[in-house]
Amino acid sequence: MQLPDIEFAHQAGESPTYDMLLACSRCATCLPACPSYAATLLETHSPRGRVQLARALEEGRLTASPKLLDALWTCLDCRACESVCPNGIHPGMLATEVRAGLQESMPFSRRIKRLILGPVLTHPLWLTSGLGMTRLFYQRTGLQHLLRGAGLLKPFGALARMDRFLPAIPRRTVRSRLPQVVPAVGEKKGRIGFFLGCAMNTIFADVTERSIRALTKLGYEVVIPRRVVCCGAPQESLGEMDLARKMARHNMQLFDDVDTIVTDCAACGAALKGYAALLDDTAAEAFTGRVQDFAEFVAPRMPAATLDLGAITYHAPCHLHHAQGVCKQPKTLLKRLCPGYRDLPEHERCCGSAGMYWALHPEISEDTLARKLRNIRSVDPRVVVTANPGCLLQLMGGREDGDTWDVRHISEVVDAALDKVMEKPEAGG
């Protein structure tokens, strides 16, 4: 496959990106944090390896090739390397920039990809209809159960993995269940906007409904814009920056009448908080400053409550812990609410989902998941809590026959705790 040379919009040495490339001291601090390096032990699949490849490419010492493409695409964009880098380098961002420049080399696959990342995700009805048909003709007819039981999907690797991570799809989305404005319960303390993530609105509609209900129980009126589209995270990670910018500009204009924007999807939150860098304008910067993750918003407002869930632990989504820097709030919430809380070893390490990474690079994804499962089993919990749809799917799909733990979104725990709080006055009477 012939790949074009990347034409950067600047000369080497004339950009902040190039300065970042030069800042890499090759100290290897990033290596233990990188899932793709841990799985392959290839320097080209490590953060510092990708930085050096990008530098060589920009300086003209390296030309584009399939091997270079493979090295760049094995990055999970988990941002763990950014959390440990002593020089403040962003290898994932650099890999994304170079990948975007290589798009022209794959005209056919790019057209297919842009069809999914563009029209399908900018028109929520398309996604909803597709999942609705999957539910009706694949799950409700019993076809899924039949194919799984007979093992007929095993020869088809990607399809088998997709089925493995596909839970029961709810009949109705959040958009169809709840009104555009959900009133506060009791005294109104404020008005917030809620950003509906694609997967959370559809596959995890039951969870997001509880997220919104929990916010109303805290006294907040919740506005759910109907015309919101994909946050742009898949487009940006796959190098389609023009689509990501288009979606960002569309979404920003829908939240003018609220002071705070909350989401229960870690990947969406990271993308929304990244609009300032993506668009590089003052309006985007103001928007970014109003975005908060569900746990980030709830933690300082949560009343005292005790919830008996037995042994419980927390897996931190990469795009919450590393990308957003929301590290303490989820654990603080869970420790306050659940006496059985136990710390998970390497709780901030990627589970291997990474959007569609599990389908594109199954070997690395499986290796990363296996490490996460070993850590979970060492804690022996009844419940594993997380805060991102990809993590929920990956951990649910990773459970084996001997595993007795359940996987829940943090909003489910918060909502159940708030129910207990609201029961107290009645019990006292």
- pLDDT tens-digit map of 132-144: 777 777 777 777 7
Distance CA 46, CA 34 (A): 6
Measured in whole angstroms, how far is the alpha carbon of residue 280 from the centre of its chain?
A: 23
Q: State the pLDDT confidence band at 417, using cuts at 50, 70 and 90.
A: very high
Residue-level pLDDT at 43? 95
Q: What fold, for 174-299?
A: Rossmann fold (3.40.50)
Q: What fold, for 304-422?
A: Rossmann fold (3.40.50)
Percent of the chain with pLDDT over 70: 86
Pairing between β-strand 181-182 and β-strand 190-194 as defined by DSSP bridges = unpaired
| Tokens linked to 414 | 């918060």
Residue 345 pLDDT greater than 70, yes or no: yes
Residue-level pLDDT at 416? 96
| Mean pLDDT of the residues in the chain | 86
Residue 272 pLDDT greater than 80, yes or no: yes
Residue-level pLDDT at 156? 67
Phi, psi of 193 (to 5 degrees): -95, 145
> pTM for the full model?
0.88
- pLDDT tens-digit map of 82-116: 999 999 888 888 887 777 776 655 554 555 566 66
CATH number of the structural domain 16-105:
1.10.1060.10
- pLDDT tens-digit map of 241-268: 888 999 999 999 999 999 999 999 999 9
**Comparing 16-105 with 304-422, is the CATH topology the same?**
no
Residue 197 pLDDT greater than 70, yes or no: yes
Distance CA 370, CA 11 (A): 43
Residue count of the chain, please give it: 429
* In the chain, where the domains are located: 16-105, 108-164, 174-299, 304-422
Distance CA 159, CA 154 (A): 8
Residue-level pLDDT at 212? 98
- pLDDT tens-digit map of 156-167: 666 677 777 777
